[in-house]
Amino acid sequence: MRPNWQAIFAVAALVSTGLASAPVSASSAQDDTSQRLPGVLILDTLPGTPGRSATETIQPDTAGRSALLRSDASEKLTSPAGGFTLCHDASVPAAVLADVLTALQEWSETLAMSGPTIAIDFGWIPLTGNGSLGVAGPSEFIVDPRLPLPGTGYPIALANELLGTDENGPGCGAANSEMALYLNSTAGGDGSLWNIGDDSAIDNQVDLSTVVLHEVGHGLGVVSAAQLVNDRIEWPRTSTPIYVYDHYFGECSSESVVGCDSELTPLNSANSNSLRGTRLWFRNLSGQALELHAPTEWSGGSSVSHLDEVRYPASSGFSLMTPYLRRGETFGSVDPALQSLVQTLGWRLSSVPAPPSNVSATAGNGRIDISFQRPTLASGAPATAYRVTLSANGSIVRSADTGAGVLGFEGLTNGVAHQVQVAAINSAGSSAAAIASNNRLIPLELPPFATAEGAARQLYRDLLGLDPSAAESAAIASRLRSTSSLAAEASTVAADARLERRLQVVRLYLGFFERDPDPAGLQYWFDEVGRGVSLDVVASSFAIASEFQQGQTVPASDFIDAAYGRILDRSPDEVGKAYWLTQLARGLDRGQMLILFSESAEHVAKTRVPANVLAISFGMLARPLTTTESADFASVVSGSGAPGLARQLAASADYDLRHRPR
Pairing verdict, β 206-207 and 194-195 = parallel
Across 348-370, b (16+ Cβ under 10 Å) vs e yields bbbbbbbbbeebebebbebebbb
Burial of 237 (0-12, 13-18, 19+ CB in 10 A): middle
CA distances for 7 relative to 31, 51, 139, 189, 311, angstroms: 37, 9, 18, 13, 28
Does this model's pTM top 0.75?
Answer: no
pLDDT in tens, 471-486: 999 999 999 999 999 9
pLDDT at residue 633 in the model: 97
Mean pLDDT by 10 residues, the chain (662 residues): 29 23 30 61 57 35 27 43 75 90 90 89 82 86 93 94 90 79 89 84 84 94 88 78 91 82 77 79 85 87 89 90 86 93 94 94 95 88 93 95 91 95 93 92 93 95 94 95 94 95 89 78 86 85 62 78 86 92 90 87 92 94 92 96 96 94 81
| DSSP at 269 | G
Residue 644 backbone dihedrals phi, psi, to 5 degrees: -65, -40
Nearest to 210 by CA among 498, 1, 22: 1
The helix-helix angle for 336-345 and 208-219 (nearest 10°) equals 20
Measured over the CA atoms of residue 161, residue 164, residue 169 and residue 170, the dihedral's sign is: positive
Q: Determine the Cα–Cα distance for residues 636 and 634; give it in Å rounded to an integer.
A: 5
Q: Are strands 118-125 and 179-184 parallel, antiparallel or unpaired?
A: parallel
